[in-house]
Amino acid sequence: ARRGALLRANARYFSGAGPYGKVMATPEEALEASGITSGNKVLVGGFGLCGIPMGCIQALNKTNINALTVVSNNCGVDEWGLGILLESKKIKRMISSYVGENAEFERQYLTGELEVELTPQGTLAERLRAGGAGIPAFFTPTAYGTVIMDGGFPIKYKNGGKGVEIASEPRESREFNGRGYIMEHAITGDVGLVKAAKADTYGNLYFNGTARNFNPECGMAAKFTIAEVEEIVDVGELKPEDIHLPGVYINAIVKMDVEKKIERVTVRKANAEESKGSLGRREKIVRRAALELKHGMNVNLGIGMPTLASNYLPEGVHVMLQSENGLLGMGPYPLEGEEHPDLINAGKETVTTLPGSSIFSSGESFAMIRGSHIDVTVLGALEVAENGDLANWVIPGKMVKGMGGAMDLVSCGSRVVVTMDHCSKKGDPKLLKSCSLPLTGKGIVDMIITDMAVFEVDKEKGELVLIEVAEGVTVDDVAAKTEAKFRVSDDVKPMLST
């Protein structure tokens, strides 16, 4: 009885009326309490449009505050998410991993209107986590041997995009146990904006589905964090084991009912039959890639064509698909009408979970990647060199998508399989003697699967080995379309398929 009375008294003490009350009536009130001002650094949770604090973003957009440095994985889309702050010219610098399909983001960067510090996704999550944990810097293998390590990549172009006004600084590098690492500094911010499904009046947070993503890390690393939530409950109503971010990190709570948009609604039809007939170019590639996925593996499939490989797993083969936005055990697309804005993959597509699935934050997602717990990574490429160098994230001055999680995935020591067209749309080879574009990773590719052939990479000799050719393709055809040096296996086979 005494314990029950103490718990009830404690619940009253931590209610909105108590001395630790954090519940505020409006996002405007919360922003005012934060002391946010022009020139501040703001940490914003979310991945694509999933788990974004849209109500707080809209409230911030109505103020006269500008010249902000915003730290977030990406910058929403045109006219939604952080995209509205871009359009209002309130952002001076973005620190993010992915530009994606936000045309205004790319335009402002390439014309010199916006500073952009592109950072590998896992490094970004760890820099935020380190900031919240009081760790000033750390060493990571991600981006070793790339322009991130060397410095000199444009942060800000001159007006009109002609010439570089601000370039990135080189990173300190060291070797540990024979492996190269670079040093990254922690990120902290003045104000954090996060989105959760539930909060109690102390600020303990519960996130729904993959809406967790970067929210815990952003909440931890800010001096003053505002939690935008869908529901507020009394202290004690959330089980301690169900709390994803403790209230010690939260300074203000605002309940809001804001539309949750889905960037890419992807669904499947019930009882859909597999298409018959000859294999298309992309299907040939992904069917071959599926053979690299062995029973029991933990696998990360990159955005686009690699994602399709899971549709063609051989009978009896079951793998756990990892999505770097915080999901292990990703299932198929949902049935039409069952899609949910809080459950997406790294390509911002709606997905489902499977028995045995788990959901976690971006920081933990990249801990399992960086810690070599993912067996195989399958991803696309713009260029691959004969020594296994990979370039797939930027064409300087022309196309900027960002590296996303690719640099983390290819540097973790797992097997890396590249799926790609053999030639560009202009007919130019994409398998080269050396990459002309900024690298994603140095000497990290193990296998290349194209519409013409399959190569293994002999890293000791720094050359490709042709092991399979597609139907109707000869070795001479492959040689005519390949700049990279390669040798022909003694046992070249027709391209395998599931």
Q: Which residues are catalytic?
A: 324
Q: How far is CA 324 from CA 53, 125, 268, 328, in A?
A: 20, 11, 22, 9
C-alpha–C-alpha distance, residues 279 and 287, integer Å? 9
Q: Two tokens at 139?
A: 């060493």
Element housing 232 (H / E): strand 222-233
Tokens 């709570």, residue located: 253
Kindly give, in sequence order, each residue whose CB lies less than 8 Å from that of residue 108, ignoring residues fewer than 6 positions away.
86, 114
Contact residues for 344 (Cβ-Cβ < 8 A; gap 6+): 47, 48, 50, 210, 262, 263, 264, 325, 350, 351
Look at residues 181, 97, 178 and name the one whose alpha carbon lies nearest to residue 144.
Answer: 181
Sequence-distant (≥ 6) Cβ neighbours of residue 169 within 8 angstroms: 151
Contact 193, 159 (CB under 8 A): no
H or E stretch including 123? helix 121-133
